[in-house]
């Protein structure tokens, strides 16, 4: 009886996650299409911020939406790698739409931003609840733990240095950081999410992975996928700035592209060590 109840509960969770994933894909695609192709969507935002939004919308539409659906399909078929990619994709969407909800000036997509954020939050919670029932650490055989752990710590320190180099001078001189002032924001939500959640998460994942804890393997896997998607989106933003002739320096885009490629290499090295599920 317990086994039947457990299987019924598992099927119910899978069905709920399927519904949330489909709705999330539809909501994200809608937001991305309007943001990328409908003029005036970002009319209340600074010109540079509007261009960056369009760049991310294009990445979301043509990369993130398909990846979300494909990874979920293979996850439900038992693929361990697809499960980890799906989790990382969900976290990227969650992260991005916290910023959309609090960093983009009010526009006709506001409710869609809220819906997309809500769907990604609850889908991620359900996914984590399901995946924590597995011993994810046991999915890997001789993975490059120290290498990946060091890379996560390195990325966290790089971004902490980047943000603090902007924030500390403003705090010391009691002024407003330039990006906050230029974009007409109260604060930069990227600073908030990174400093409070994302970067500490990378450090925590690095430490737990170094100690070969099961949760460390899970956090590291999600973080690697998240960093790939985020750096590709960041590169897309910079490219769009150049296309709109707002910024012609591709140096930053090259840096983000290099970081994306590096993350892809580390992800392949790490995920290639996953063992197939027992028959």
pLDDT tens digit string along 135-183? 999 999 889 999 999 999 999 999 999 899 999 999 999 999 988 888 8
Given this model, what pLDDT does residue 5 score? 44
Burial grade of 275 (CB within 10 A; 0-12, 13-18, 19 or more): exposed
Mean pLDDT of 43-67: 95
Mean pLDDT of 226-234: 94
Nearest to 130 by CA among 205, 75, 92, 89: 75
pTM of the model: 0.93
User: Considering the chain, what percentage of its residues have pLDDT values greater than 70?
Assistant: 93
Given this model, what pLDDT does residue 256 score? 81
User: 89 and 67 in contact (C-beta within 8 Å)?
Assistant: yes
Given this model, what pLDDT does residue 18 score? 96
User: Considering the chain, what percentage of its residues have pLDDT values greater than 90?
Assistant: 77
**Size of the chain, expressed as the number of residues it contains:** 279
Does residue 1 surpass a pLDDT of 50?
no
pLDDT tens digit string along 10-40? 667 889 999 999 999 999 999 999 999 999 9
Q: What's the whole-number average pLDDT of the chain?
A: 91
């Amino acid at each position: 009886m317990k086994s039947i109840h457990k299987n019924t509960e598992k099927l119910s969770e899978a069905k709920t996650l399927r519904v949330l994933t489909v709705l999330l894909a539809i909501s994200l695609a809608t937001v991305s299409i309007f943001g990328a192709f409908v003029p005036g969507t970002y009319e209340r935002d600074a010109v540079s911020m509007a261009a960056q939004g369009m760049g991310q919308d294009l990445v979301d539409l043509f990369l993130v939406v398909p990846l979300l659906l494909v990874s979920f399909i293979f996850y439900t078929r038992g693929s361990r790698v697809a499960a980890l990619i799906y989790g990382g994709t969900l976290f990227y969407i969650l992260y991005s739409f916290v910023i959309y909800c609090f960093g983009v000036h009010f526009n006709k997509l506001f409710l869609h931003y809220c819906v997309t954020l809500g769907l990604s939050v609850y889908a991620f919670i359900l996914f984590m609840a399901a995946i924590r029932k597995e011993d994810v650490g046991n999915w890997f055989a001789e993975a490059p733990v120290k290498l990946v752990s060091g890379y996560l710590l390195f990325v966290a320190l790089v971004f902490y240095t980047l943000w603090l180099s902007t924030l500390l001078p403003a705090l010391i001189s009691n002024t407003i950081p330039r990006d906050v002032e230029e974009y007409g924001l109260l604060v930069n939500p990227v600073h908030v999410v990174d400093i409070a959640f994302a970067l500490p998460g990378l450090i925590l994942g690095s430490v737990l992975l170094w100690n070969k804890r099961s949760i460390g393997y899970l956090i590291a896997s999600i973080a690697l996928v998240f960093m790939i998607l985020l750096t590709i989106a960041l590169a897309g933003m910079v490219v769009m700035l150049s296309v709109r002739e707002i910024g012609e320096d591709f140096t930053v885009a090259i840096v983000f592209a290099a970081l994306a490629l590096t993350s892809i290499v580390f992800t392949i090295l790490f995920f290639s060590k996953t063992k197939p599920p027992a028959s």
